[in-house]
């Protein structure tokens, strides 16, 4: 004798819901191109650290480059916000230290003339 399987109730086809709109955020660092995960942060830090060093030191017999320092500082501030957003506290200390070093160089470059 054959066993009959219990039948399933009929389902009504529904139209899929549209995805929810993106949540608004107050964080400056979420603009396009800002680091969004650990990999992006690592890539950005590898790019910024040497730039900061060169901008701080200047070239042989040169003073630090103020426009470059300001641009690097803005990028470091964005990176610091992304690190904080992801909760990478140990890395946050390093990025904060780099930011303070650049701020110090900006102050000296601004007041040396």
DSSP string across 14-53:
-PPPPPPPPPP---GGGSTTS--SHHHHHHHHHHHHHHHH
Q: Is residue 9 part of a domain?
A: no
Residues above pLDDT 90, as percent of the chain: 35
Tell me the CB-side half-sphere exposure of residue 57, using CA atoms within 13 A: 8
Residues above pLDDT 70, as percent of the chain: 65
Query: How does pLDDT run across 50-91, given as a tens digit for each residue?
Result: 999 888 887 666 777 788 899 999 999 999 999 999 988 889
Range of the domain at 100: 36-111
Q: List the structure tokens of 34.
A: 């800002």
- Average pLDDT of the chain is 78
Q: Looking at residue 16, what is its pLDDT?
A: 65
Q: Is residue 30 part of a domain?
A: no
Task: Reply yes or no on whether the pLDDT at 2 is more than 70.
Answer: no
Q: Is residue 106 part of a domain?
A: yes
Q: Is residue 41 part of a domain?
A: yes
Structural domain tally of the chain? 1
Buried b (16+ CB within 10 A) or exposed e, 38-64: eeebeebbeebeebbeebbeeeeeeeb
């Amino acid at each position: 004798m054959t066993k009959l399987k219990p039948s399933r109730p009929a389902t009504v086809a529904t139209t899929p819901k549209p995805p929810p709109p993106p949540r608004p955020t107050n964080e400056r660092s979420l603009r396009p191109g800002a680091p969004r995960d650990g990999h992006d942060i690592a890539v950005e830090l590898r790019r910024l650290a040497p730039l900061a060093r060169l901008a701080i030191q200047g070239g042989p017999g040169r003073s630090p480059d103020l426009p470059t320092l300001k641009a690097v500082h803005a990028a470091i501030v964005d990176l610091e916000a992304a690190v904080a957003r992801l909760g990478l506290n140990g890395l946050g200390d390093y990025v904060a230290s780099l930011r303070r070093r650049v701020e110090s160089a900006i102050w000296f470059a601004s007041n040396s003339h």
